[in-house]
Amino acid sequence: GEDVEQSLFLSVREGDSSVINCTYTDSSSTYLYWYKQEPGAGLQLLTYIFSNMDMKQDQRLTVLLNKKDKHLSLRIADTQTGDSAIYFCAESRAAGNKLTFGGGTRVLVKP
C-alpha cells in the first residue's frame, strides 16, 4: 500500500529558512499536499503540487518535487514564530480522492 514518511522534528531560528522533507512510495500519486496543524486545531491546507510539476512557489512557501526519487520538500523562507506547528505531507491519486498522510513533522521556531 501507499506509504508516506517524514522526519519527526525540526528546530529552526527565527528568520532562517526551514526545509521539511517527505518521501512517498506510490508511483501513482498525482497530487501532493502540505498541511499545517496548530495546537488544538484541525489541518489547514498550505499548498499542493501536481505530479507533473517540479516546483511551486507561493509567497514564503516553495514546494519542490523530485518524482524520480519520490521526494517532496517544503521550504519556508524567513521562518516566523507563528510557523511553529506540525506539518503533514499527504498524497492522493486523484483530485478529491482520499489522502494518505505522513506522520507529521513538528517544527519549532526559536527566537
Partner 1 sequence: TAGITQAPTSQILAAGRSMTLRCTQDMRHNAMYWYRQDLGLGLRLIHYSNTAGTTGKGEVPDGYSVSRANTDDFPLTLASAVPSQTSVYFCASSSILGDSPLHFGNGTRLTVT
Residue placing its CB nearer to partner 1 in the complex, 89 or 109? 89
The neighbouring-strand residues paired with 6 are: 22
Contact (Cβ atoms closer than 8 angstroms) between residue 46 and residue 36: yes
Residues 51-80, one symbol each (x = binds partner 1 by CB under 8 A, - = not), give ------------------------------
Stretch that binds partner 1, among 13-21, 32-40, 54-62, 64-72 (CB under 8 A): 32-40
> Applying CB under 8 A, does 29 fall inside the site for partner 1?
no
Q: Which of 7, 6, 48, 2 is nearest to 25 (CA)?
A: 2
CB of 110 to partner 1, least distance (A): 23
Contact (Cβ atoms closer than 8 angstroms) between residue 62 and residue 75: yes
CA–CA distance, 46 with 58 (Å, rounded to integer): 9
CB of 75 to partner 1, least distance (A): 20
The neighbouring-strand residues paired with 85 are: 107
> Applying CB under 8 A, does 28 fall inside the site for partner 1?
no
> Applying CB under 8 A, does 4 fall inside the site for partner 1?
yes
Backbone angles phi, psi at 64, to 5 degrees: -115, 135
Q: Which residues bind partner 1 (CB under 8 A)?
A: 1, 4, 8, 31, 33, 35, 40-45, 48, 50, 88, 90, 94-104
